[in-house]
Amino acid sequence: MSRAASRRSPGEGALFYRADRDRWVGRVTIDGERRTVSAKTKTEARKELDLLRRAADDGLPLTAGSMTLADLLTVWADKALPNRVLADSAITSHKWAIKILVEEIGNVKVRRLTPDQVEAAFLRRTKTIDVAKRRGRGRTSGSALSRSSLIKVRSTLSQALKWAQRRNLIARNIAGLVEIPADAAVPKSGKSLTVAEAKLLLIAAAGTDLEAMWIVMLYLGLRPGEAAGLAWDDIDFDSGTVHIWRSRKVGASGNSVVGATKTPGSIRTLDAPQPVLDSFVRHRRRQHEQRLAAGSWWTNEENLVFTSPYGKPSDSAAVRKEFREIVAASDVEGDWTPNLLRHSAASLMADAGMPIELVADQLGHRDLRMLQRHYRHRIRPTISGGAVVDGLLTREVS
């Protein structure tokens, strides 16, 4: 039985049947060069033709079978990540994971990538890495990756493969079949300030530009991005509450942008004890003085609580720098970051007897297991009825 040729629209290539080869053939011109694909059926040939054109559009190798995981991850990082609003830490995490995947299995063809190959790479990464030459590439030295780190790597792989799957570059996303090695180390939970250390830190922070940020994070357990995203409209001085509904993040372009909270469950309204409200009053007075000094250079269009002296969104690097200076001035030993104030808040609340469910609500968490694993430290038995946030740290820290 004869088979009629199928012509496509101009620029989309052509499909036709070759009886001498018993194959369907697709042809398309890309960058002035004719490319040809063939398959047993017309449908398969059309898919191969579409794949060829899509790969060219995405900057991937024109022969789908030659596309390596390194090729895919490079294009995904260049094309997909810039279009997403992500915190700078999330972008850094993806790039870190890409580096590991490229080092381990970057030369594997994406269409031939199997869960076993990924699991074998993960198993290698549970061991301490030595500097070595492997297939002509140097490997970075470092310690073994923990279970949570490997989960992050798998998540990056899954997102990249999902992006490729939507573009018909691969048939399936195998990342969901990958299991984390059973002997992968479980990371230690984050450290927390003691009551005495919290006192020292707050004394050192008194009168500084971002005193209110450190107080609200330590008392209420806000994430750094949630604190940076606070607007004055989010603070109700009459009811003594703070509404958390957005987070300030750094996009792939480096610009500071306002986005949704980390999860829908992170949207919450929190009772603010008097020290928090008082710190906001002092901060508003300080910001008013900065606005007068800046004059026409003032640009706080979003009415943010925490800004630069000229009203621009607070810079995350500057925030971390000021926090390090406060820690150094407080004589609190160790390496501390602003995010550990959140850990400390959870620990202090639970240590005072606040039920774990209320601590989870306070921090905007729904996964109690994760909260118990990463945020609680030095926990006493829960007191019946628990404690409320209002006055908790006033009693313990002031």
- Strands 137-138 vs 235-236: parallel, antiparallel or unpaired: unpaired
For residues 169 and 88, membership in a common domain is answered with yes
For residues 222 and 361, membership in a common domain is answered with yes
Q: What pLDDT was estimated at residue 214?
A: 95
Residues 79 and 188 sit within 8 Å (Cβ to Cβ): no
Taking alpha carbons only, the member of 142, 119, 117 closest to residue 132 is: 142
Total number of domains in the chain: 3
Domain-located, residue 187? no
The residue segments making up the domain with residue 275 are: 195-397
pTM over 0.95: no
CATH of the domain at 298: 1.10.443.10
Domain-located, residue 257? yes
For residues 305 and 205, membership in a common domain is answered with yes
For residues 79 and 124, membership in a common domain is answered with yes
For residues 168 and 220, membership in a common domain is answered with no
CATH of the domain at 100: 1.10.150.130
For residues 119 and 265, membership in a common domain is answered with no
Helices (H) and strands (E) in the chain, counts: 14, 11
pLDDT in tens for each of the 398 residues of the chain? Answer: 445 444 444 344 577 888 787 888 777 766 566 666 677 888 877 777 776 666 666 655 545 556 789 988 988 988 888 777 676 667 888 999 999 999 999 999 888 899 999 999 999 998 755 434 344 444 444 568 888 889 999 999 999 999 888 877 787 899 999 999 887 766 555 678 888 888 899 999 999 999 999 999 999 989 888 999 999 999 999 999 999 888 876 554 445 566 556 556 678 888 888 899 999 999 999 999 999 999 999 999 889 999 999 999 888 888 889 999 999 999 888 888 888 898 888 888 887 777 777 888 888 766 555 555 555 444 333 322 223 344 544 555 54
For residues 127 and 226, membership in a common domain is answered with no
Q: Is the dihedral of CA 76, 77, 83, 85 positive or negative?
A: positive
Neighbours of 270 (CB within 10 A): 22
Question: DSSP 3-state assignment of 190?
Answer: coil
State how far the Cα of 116 lies from the Cα of 118, in Å rounded to an integer. Answer: 5
Residues 180 and 122 sit within 8 Å (Cβ to Cβ): yes
Q: What pLDDT was estimated at residue 111?
A: 84
Domain boundary among 151, 177, 203: 177
Residues 64 and 48 sit within 8 Å (Cβ to Cβ): yes
Residues 248 and 231 sit within 8 Å (Cβ to Cβ): no
Domain-located, residue 287? yes
Q: What pLDDT was estimated at residue 73?
A: 92
Q: What pLDDT was estimated at residue 390?
A: 43
Question: DSSP 3-state assignment of 152?
Answer: helix
For residues 240 and 346, membership in a common domain is answered with yes
* One-letter amino acid for residue 389 of the chain: V
For residues 224 and 343, membership in a common domain is answered with yes
Domain-located, residue 185? no
For residues 169 and 231, membership in a common domain is answered with no
For residues 219 and 334, membership in a common domain is answered with yes
* DSSP letter for each residue of 253-274: TS-EEEEE-SSGGG-EEEE--H
- For residue 152, give both structure tokens: 């992050």
Domain-located, residue 274? yes
For residues 367 and 243, membership in a common domain is answered with yes
